[in-house]
């Protein structure tokens, strides 16, 4: 389900970002995501899942996460859709779990990524290299697809 929604998100972003300023696009997209994710969080999580973090000592961390990942990260990816093709942006999106694991390790005192994270990361990077190599062999620039 997540992969399907990301495809729609990237394709819609590519179409709309050709003529729409990034913040005009990002505000309603972020609002719609919040409206859809809050009920999903309530249905799938604990009774405090939707807003339980508000009174938490982790509030500042949640604000940083929302700002860095949500506003800077996703809005930055949407800004890049004006100049890059969705395939290129998809590469960046697939690297999020790997990058997130290392950010958690470096800045948030999380455990060192385990062997499956390392293995999965290597497989993912190898797959991205195959796509880039395959595109180059067929005369395709991934920035133009």
21-25, 78-82, 115-119: which is most confident? 115-119
Q: Do 52 and 46 form a contact (C-beta atoms < 8 A)?
A: yes
CA dihedral 20, 25, 26, 31 (to 10 degrees): 170
Q: Residue 133 above 80 pLDDT?
A: no
10 Å Cβ neighbour count for 88?
18
**Dist. CA 78–CA 30, nearest whole Å:** 12
Task: Please count the other Cβ atoms lying within 10 Å of the Cβ belonging to residue 86.
Answer: 19
Res. 124: pLDDT tops 80: yes
Share above pLDDT 70 across residues of the chain, in percent, rounded to a whole number: 80
Q: Write down the pTM of the prediction.
A: 0.59
Band (pLDDT 50/70/90 cuts) for residue 130 is: confident
pLDDT digits 0-9 by tens, 1-11: 667 777 777 78
DSSP 52-93: GGGGSTTHHHHHHHIIIIIIIIIHHHHHHTTTS-HHHHHHHH
42-46, 68-72, 76-80, 130-134: least confident range: 42-46
| pLDDT computed for residue 123 by the predictor | 92
């Amino acid at each position: 389900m997540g992969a399907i929604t990301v495809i729609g998100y990237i394709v819609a972003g590519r179409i709309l970002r050709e003529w729409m300023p990034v913040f005009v696009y990002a505000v309603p997209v972020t609002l719609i995501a919040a409206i859809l994710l809050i009920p999903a969080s309530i249905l799938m999580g604990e009774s405090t899942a939707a807003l339980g973090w508000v009174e938490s000592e982790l509030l500042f961390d949640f604000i940083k996460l929302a700002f860095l990942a949500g506003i800077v990260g996703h809005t930055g990816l949407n800004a890049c859709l004006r100049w890059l093709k969705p395939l290129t942006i998809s590469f960046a999106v697939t690297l999020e779990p790997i990058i997130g694991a290392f950010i958690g390790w470096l800045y948030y005192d999380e455990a060192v990524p385990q062997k499956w994270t390392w293995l999965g990361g290597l497989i993912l990077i190898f797959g991205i290299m195959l796509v880039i190599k395959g595109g180059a062999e067929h005369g395709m620039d991934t920035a133009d697809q």
